[in-house]
């Protein structure tokens, strides 16, 4: 069995087992350090670059499927929409939006609380009003809604 | 009718490549048993063998070992022609392409660790590119890039250090040009 191992590799492993612990740092050359540092920078930069895509930058309010208004998510404000059975009050704060009050009997869209991700949606069905967040670039438009 | 015998001459090169490939396949199989938090995140230990072969015998041998490892390794773990096989193949081809360039880096400044990290990034690059084009045709796959890149950096550095250590030891062992053993073992 021993003889079926590669000659070079067998010797290598035999030596590795007996050679004791070398200083790991001697195995790295100057360029290796440079490349590792560059790679670490790139990896660190990839997190904010690629994980920002899910953030929303505007809220879209619709009544009966028709867009009533688009609110930018950078200023705090409130907006009232009159729907089929009353008035739905929507609140926008930097980076998030919610339905504050709604005349619907079960209050589902109010209880959903703050929406923060792009394509998140709160539907006040009895009042025919929806609040949806949209991200930059309008990606993921093939989906009606996404849940997190 | 006389039974015809086709004899393929087996050179010392063939034996050496087969042996290194066998070592790489063994590592692939051992690694397949490790639990992984996410498909695609694994140490890639077989690449240590590829790096050693690249440094000692050149790119051609490394390419043979790497591709034999992908094909035979997937046969052993039952992944041949499954999506994972094509991802591994795409990753291996990309990393071989990068290694072909990386071996021309000045050896005074760049050692096996650089080659390993570059190859690891090429590996995930190839896999994600194929996944985006074929398996998950949606930009959502790029959401995983930071995770894959982090593991590529960590495991690329570790594998490179192991390869560098094996190569540092091998300096005093002459490059083996063993006589082919009699009979298949």
Q: What are phi and psi of B16, to 5 degrees?
A: -65, -45
Establish, for the pair of chains A and B, how many residue pairs have beta carbons separated by less than 8 Å: 111
ipTM passes above 0.85: no
Residue B74: Cβ-neighbour burial (10 angstroms; 0-12, 13-18, 19+): buried
Secondary structure (DSSP) of chain A: -GGGS-HHHHHHHHHHHHS----GGGG--HHHHHHHHHHHHHHHHHHHHHHSTTBEEEEEEEETTEEEEEEETTS-EEEEEE-SSSEEEEEEETTEEEEEE---SS-HHHHT--B-BTT-EEEEGGGTEEEEEEEGGGTTTT-S----
Higher pLDDT, B130 or A22: B130
Higher pLDDT, B128 or A135: B128
Secondary structure (DSSP) of B52-112: HHHHHH-HHHHHHHHHHHHHHHHHHTT-TTSHHHHHHHHHHHHHHHHHHHHTTS-TTT--H
Q: B-chain residues within 8 Å CB-CB of A42?
A: 149
Distance between CA atoms of residues A115 and B133, nearest Å? 32
Overall pTM surpassing 0.80 (yes/no): no
Residue A27: which of B109, B153, B161 has the nearest Cβ? B161
CA distances in angstroms from A136 to A59, A75, A139, B13, listed in the order given: 11, 17, 7, 56
pLDDT higher than 50, residue B82: yes
Q: What is residue A52's predicted lDDT score, i.e. its pLDDT?
A: 66
Tell if the CB–CB gap between A40 and B153 is shorter than 8 Å.
Answer: yes
Q: What is residue A47's predicted lDDT score, i.e. its pLDDT?
A: 86
Q: Which residues contact A143 (CB under 8 A, 6 or more apart)?
A: A119
Q: Give A63's strand partners.
A: A66, A129
Find the mean pLDDT for residues B113-124.
95
Q: Do B145 and B131 meet the contact criterion of CB atoms below 8 Å apart?
A: no
Residue A6: which of B20, B121, B149 has the nearest Cβ? B20
How confident is residue B184, by pLDDT bands cut at 50, 70 and 90? very low
pLDDT tens per residue across span B132-143: 999 888 777 888
B84 to chain A nearest CA, in Å?
Answer: 24
Q: Tell me what the pLDDT averaged over chain B comes to.
A: 87
Interface test with B, best of A9, A14, A15 (most B CBs within 10 A): A9
pLDDT tens per residue across span B40-62: 788 999 999 999 999 999 999 99
pLDDT higher than 70, residue B176: no
Q: Do B80 and A1 meet the contact criterion of CB atoms below 8 Å apart?
A: no
Using CA coordinates, name the residue in chain B closest to A24. Answer: B161
Find the mean pLDDT for residues B61-77.
95
Of all residues in chain B, the percent with pLDDT exceeding 70 is 91
How confident is residue B161, by pLDDT bands cut at 50, 70 and 90? very high
Take residue B31 and report the two structure tokens written for it.
């690694």
Nearest to A91 by CA among A102, A83, A80: A80
Q: What is residue A12's predicted lDDT score, i.e. its pLDDT?
A: 74
Nearest-Å Rg of the Cα atoms of chain A is 28
Q: Do A130 and A121 meet the contact criterion of CB atoms below 8 Å apart?
A: yes
Interface test with A, best of B146, B154, B167, B178 (most A CBs within 10 A): B146
Tell if the CB–CB gap between B165 and A27 is shorter than 8 Å.
Answer: yes
How confident is residue B183, by pLDDT bands cut at 50, 70 and 90? very low
Tell if the CB–CB gap between A9 and B157 is shorter than 8 Å.
Answer: no
Nearest-Å Rg of the Cα atoms of chain B is 18
CA distances in angstroms from A77 to A59, A66, A73, A98, listed in the order given: 12, 21, 9, 11
Three-class SS state of B170: helix
Of all residues in chain B, the percent with pLDDT exceeding 90 is 60
- Phi-psi category of residue B11: left, alpha or beta, with phi > 0 → left and psi -120 to 50 → alpha: beta
Interface test with B, best of A2, A20, A24, A31 (most B CBs within 10 A): A31
- pLDDT tens track, chain A, 148 positions: 444 555 667 777 777 777 666 677 788 889 999 999 999 999 998 888 777 656 778 899 999 989 999 988 888 899 999 989 999 999 999 888 999 999 989 999 999 999 888 778 899 999 999 999 887 655 555 565 556 6
Q: What is residue A3's predicted lDDT score, i.e. its pLDDT?
A: 46
Using CA coordinates, name the residue in chain B closest to A5. Answer: B19
End-to-end CA distance of chain B: 31
Interface test with A, best of B170, B174, B182 (most A CBs within 10 A): B170
Higher pLDDT, B120 or B35: B120
pLDDT higher than 90, residue B20: yes
Distance between CA atoms of residues B25 and B79, nearest Å? 13
pLDDT higher than 90, residue B94: yes
Q: What is residue A119's predicted lDDT score, i.e. its pLDDT?
A: 79
**Residue found under tokens 């619907």:** A104
Tell if the CB–CB gap between A50 and B143 is shorter than 8 Å.
Answer: yes
Tell if the CB–CB gap between B146 and A51 is shorter than 8 Å.
Answer: yes
Nearest to B46 by CA among B60, B61, B32: B32
pLDDT higher than 60, residue B178: no
Q: A-chain residues within 8 Å CB-CB of B175?
A: 8
Q: Do B104 and B147 meet the contact criterion of CB atoms below 8 Å apart?
A: no
């Amino acid at each position: 069995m021993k003889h079926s191992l590669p000659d070079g590799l067998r010797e290598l492993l035999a030596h590795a087992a007996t050679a004791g612990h070398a200083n790991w740092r001697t195995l790295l050359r100057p360029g290796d350090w440079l490349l590792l540092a560059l790679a670490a920078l790139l990896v660190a930069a990839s997190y904010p670059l690629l994980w920002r895509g899910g953030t929303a930058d505007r809220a879209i309010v619709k009544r009966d499927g028709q867009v009533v208004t688009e609110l930018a998510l950078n200023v705090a404000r409130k907006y009232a929409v009159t729907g089929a059975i009353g008035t739905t009050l929507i609140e926008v704060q930097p980076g998030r939006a919610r339905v504050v009050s709604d005349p619907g009997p079960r209050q589902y869209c109010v209880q959903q609380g703050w929406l923060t991700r792009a394509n998140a949606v709160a539907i006040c069905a009895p009042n025919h009003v929806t609040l949806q967040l949209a991200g930059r670039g309008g990606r993921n438009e093939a989906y009606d809604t996404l849940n997190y | 009718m006389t039974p015809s015998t086709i004899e393929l001459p087996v050179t010392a090169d063939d034996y050496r490549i087969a042996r290194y490939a066998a070592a790489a396949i063994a590592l692939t199989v051992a690694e397949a048993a490790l639990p992984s938090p996410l498909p695609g995140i694994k140490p890639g230990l077989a690449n240590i063998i590829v790096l050693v072969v690249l440094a000692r015998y050149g790119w051609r041998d490394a390419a043979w070992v790497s591709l034999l490892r992908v094909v035979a390794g997937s046969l052993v773990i039952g992944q041949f022609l499954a999506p994972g096989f094509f991802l591994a193949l795409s990753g291996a081809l990309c990393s071989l392409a990068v290694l072909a360039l990386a071996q021309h880096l000045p050896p005074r400044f760049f050692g096996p660790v650089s080659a390993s990290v570059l190859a690891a990034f090429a590996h995930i690059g190839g896999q994600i590119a194929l996944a985006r084009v074929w398996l998950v045709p949606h930009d959502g796959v790029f959401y995983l890039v930071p995770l894959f890149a982090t593991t590529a950096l960590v495991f690329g550095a570790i594998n490179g250090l192991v390869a560098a250590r094996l190569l540092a030891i091998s300096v005093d062992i002459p490059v083996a040009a063993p006589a082919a053993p009699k009979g298949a073992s």
